[in-house]
Amino acid sequence: MIRLPSGSALHLHNQEAILKYLPSPARPRLLCASALLALLVCQGTATLAATPKDTLVIARGVDDIITLDPAETFEVSTGEIMGNIYDRLVRLDLKDPTKLVADVAKSWTVSPDGRTYAFELRSGLKFPSGNALTAEDVAYSLHRVVVLDKTPAFILTQFGFNKDNVRDRIKPTGPLSLTLETDKPYAPSFFLNCLTANVGAIVDRKLLLSKEQNGDWGYAWLKTHYAGSGPMKLREWRANEIVALERNDGHYGEKPKLARVIYRHVKESATQRLLLEKGDIDVARNLSPQDIAALSVNQDVKLTSAPKATVYYISLNQKNATLAKPEVREAFKWLIDYAAIGDTLIKNIGVNHQNFLPMGLLGASKENPYKLDVEKARALLAKAGVPKGFKVTIDTRTIEPEQGIVEAFQQTARRAGVEIEIIPGDGKQVLTRYRARKHDMFLSPWGVDYWDPHSNADAFARNLDNADDAKFKSLAWRNAWAIPELSKKTDAAVLERDAEKRKAMYEELQAEFRRTSPFIVLYQQIEVAALRSNVDGLQLGPSFDTTYMFKVSKR
């Protein structure tokens, strides 16, 4: 490992890993002959020449990638990868996310009773393996999600699909046609939007059947491999190092202009900025407000930004008896300096937002009632029987702005006698603890899985079974928040087909959530990317899986 002047780390083997994906004539020479000489002469950085015109190199933290199986993945970074390498029946219209565009499906209809959806597929589609993409592949892909029943399967099973009935309710009706039958007449936009999620990704049935082990649907193999048909295809993933994608020349759509896209795992903002300024990368994705400001005056760099349907929150595990006290939950909401965080840590990358529905979705509330009020928090802690405070831990990913926010929270909470121990870790570590309900508190982003308010209401305001072995494990479940009545209200809202009535129901849900929940919603993300001036066509999507690198080009 060598040290950059900023004090952050850059692994030589990480840089060398990138070189093997470049064509031989484009492979630059390392300026330093050895790591020792790099330390002494190059001040800690092995410099790459400008990246090839047909290759996009992106720096971002990708340590949250746990699996590459679309039936299982539920992480931020993997969402973007899935959106680029897997097709689905339909996708969001990036010009207007409330609308859909055809992907593998060329058309679809809904039955008069609102329960049966019939799809017609494009003809002549093929997977990179050479296998034809047919209605059987689509049905198999959706069956697989339901039967494997991994974390994101609820996006499909909420429509009444289960391992016993899914083959009857999702079935091919011809080589290029299939039907999907739901248990209730949901709003068509709700159901179709759910098919844009990663669980709607279409996998190569014949390929996975050849990789099956003991009837596992190819699960063991697909965790680290690829079976899609998207505009890009996976070449390699090396955990905490690199994700390499390459163009799928057999894709039905407009061919990507880039031959390859390489994600480098670089978490530190200062390191990303330095690499971008030197031309060693084309795009930086995890920049601090300070580095964004510095890059805004660099003539070789341009910035792009877009509101993201992502909220950042701190959650309080209700298995902790102290955190389960209503007064403690409320006190913590008064121990956040929202204004200071907004002016510094999330300046230009987020806006104060204290509701689980991000702006842009039906029914999103603009109410932000909380501010830093230590005295009010002290009074609530006294009422809870802990007037002198207590000790508690918080898990967080070692990436900005999360780390800075928890440190700021630590300082303001101390003013009320609450001592917070920060437990840092990489994405996989903190998510594993969180999903096992082993945390006290946790800071995390949450983005919509599909473009409908139920996506977040289902996560934050629904928990019908609080048992450790519950089948449905929402964010409310992860924090052991038992809410049978609020769950019923959430279930009612998703079935309301009148848009204005449904909007009012979500506004009421959010008001109750703000008052009573063990969640402190902090802000809504504005995603910002800095890119070299020769990069064109990068549009940051509204959700995790709608930033399409296959639309990017370089001059």
End-to-end CA distance of the chain: 33
Contact 448, 154 (CB under 8 A): no
The answer on pLDDT for 537 being more than 70 is yes
**pLDDT the model gives residue 25:** 40
Confidence of residue 40 (pLDDT cuts 50, 70, 90): very low
Enumerate residues 6+ apart whose C-beta is below 8 A from 195: 88, 89, 90, 450
Average pLDDT over residues 348-355: 96
The answer on pLDDT for 8 being more than 80 is no
Radius of gyration for the alpha carbons in the chain, expressed in angstroms and rounded: 24
Of 35, 100, 45, 19, the C-alpha closest to 546 is 100
Report whether the peptide linkage leading into residue 401 is cis, meaning its omega lies within 30 degrees of zero. yes
- Our CA angle for 473, 474, 476, nearest 5°, is 115
**pLDDT the model gives residue 49:** 57
**pLDDT the model gives residue 497:** 81
The answer on pLDDT for 7 being more than 60 is no
The residue type at 107: S
Choice between 31 and 460, residue whose per-residue pLDDT is larger: 460
Q: How far is CA 105 from CA 7, 94, 102, 133, 202, in A?
A: 50, 17, 6, 11, 11
Of 552, 530, 547, 539, the C-alpha closest to 275 is 530
Of 242, 258, 256, 232, the C-alpha closest to 83 is 232
Confidence of residue 28 (pLDDT cuts 50, 70, 90): very low
For 151, other C-beta atoms within 10 Å of its C-beta total 16
| Continuous segment of H or E residues that includes residue 237 | strand 232-238
Which residues is 523 bridged to in the sheet? Answer: 312, 352
The answer on pLDDT for 36 being more than 80 is no
**pLDDT the model gives residue 52:** 92
- DSSP conformation class of 89: S
Of 525, 524, 527, the C-alpha closest to 547 is 527
**pLDDT the model gives residue 23:** 45
pLDDT tens, position by position, 117-136:
999 999 999 999 999 999 99
Instruction: Take residue 251 and report the two structure tokens written for it.
Output: 């894709």
Return d(Cα 507, Cα 518) in angstroms, integer: 18
Confidence of residue 50 (pLDDT cuts 50, 70, 90): confident
The answer on pLDDT for 173 being more than 90 is yes
Where is average pLDDT lowest: 3-17, 264-278, 385-399? 3-17
Average pLDDT over residues 218-236: 97
Instruction: Take residue 436 and report the two structure tokens written for it.
Output: 């096992």
Instruction: Take residue 476 and report the two structure tokens written for it.
Output: 């409310």
Give me the helix-helix angle, 374-383 and 326-333, nearest 10°: 170
Helix (H, G, I), strand (E, B) or coil at 511: helix
